[in-house]
Structure 1
Amino acid sequence: MMENKIVEILQYTLRKGTGVEFHNIMAEISVPLHNLHGIDVVSYGNSLHDPDCYCLIRSFENEESMSSVLAAFYASSGWINGPREEIISRIENSLKTILNLPQKGIDGLRKP
């Protein structure tokens, strides 16, 4: 039997008019950097209802793994000297939700 994983859903309200730039930074710099750190980016992109709303979904083995992997990621020079400022400067508000889901549910959320 397959064990559940931890899924983190981040929802961002971006500064007006920055959604396209934000997505380009995510696609070209941030997501590849996540991948280099072994972070499973399940899905990401602008909301269908508003291009200045954004969602990032990441999956982790367990809560301890999520904490340690994200701590290492956000402390890395790749993040600090890379897309950090460009991303943070465009976020007006953010919400975080953590779920415990089976792999089948995670795969259903996965961006094709």
Structure 2
Amino acid sequence: MNKTVEILQYTLRKGTGEVFHSIMHDISVPLHRRHRIDVVSFGHSLHDPDCYYLIRAFVSTESMATVLDTFYSSADWRDGPREDIIDCIETSLKTVMILPSESVDGLRVQV
């Protein structure tokens, strides 16, 4: 079975990498999971502590759009970590691809 995989890459404002990771680890990723979003992996890039990635998997491209629309319009997100996260991000890139489930599981990091 294939999955739709979204990879988000963030260039963070200088010196915000540790704060961003704390927000992701303690607040944002648990919030994603409460909303049944499959967070495959997240963390600092090896080349720069102020670069970060978030990998999420979805059943399909269509479900990804629906799930993310619901998540980003929720009070949990808007009244939760949204502003703190956005304040740390200088630029972001998004890539979406279809991968076999086995490949997604190979990217999975247990946190």
What TM-score do you get using the length of structure 1 for normalisation? 0.97
**Alignment-derived partner of residue 12 in structure 2:** 14
Superposition deviation, residue 70 in structure 1: 0.2
Structure 1 segment 51-66 matched on structure 2, within 5 A: 51-66=49-64
**Alignment-derived partner of residue 31 in structure 1:** 29
Distance in 1 (CA, whole Å) between partners of 2:47 and 2:62 is: 34
Distance in 1 (CA, whole Å) between partners of 2:50 and 2:64 is: 27
Distance in 2 (CA, whole Å) between partners of 1:84 and 1:23 is: 14
Which ranges in structure 1 are unaligned for 5 or more consecutive residues?
A: none
Q: Residue 89 of structure 1 aligns to a residue in which SS?
A: helix
**Alignment-derived partner of residue 96 in structure 1:** 94
Distance in 1 (CA, whole Å) between partners of 2:26 and 2:7 is: 20
Read off the aligned partner of 1:90 and give its amino acid letter: C
**Alignment-derived partner of residue 39 in structure 2:** 41
Give percent identity, aligned residues only. Answer: 65
Report the number of matched residues: 110
Let me know the Cα RMSD of the aligned residues.
Answer: 0.5
In the TM superposition, structure 1's runs of 4+ consecutive aligned residues that sit over 6 Å from their partners are: none
Read off the aligned partner of 1:40 and give its amino acid letter: D
Read off the aligned partner of 1:95 and give its amino acid letter: L
Superposition deviation, residue 64 in structure 1: 0.8
Which ranges in structure 2 are unaligned for 5 or more consecutive residues?
A: none
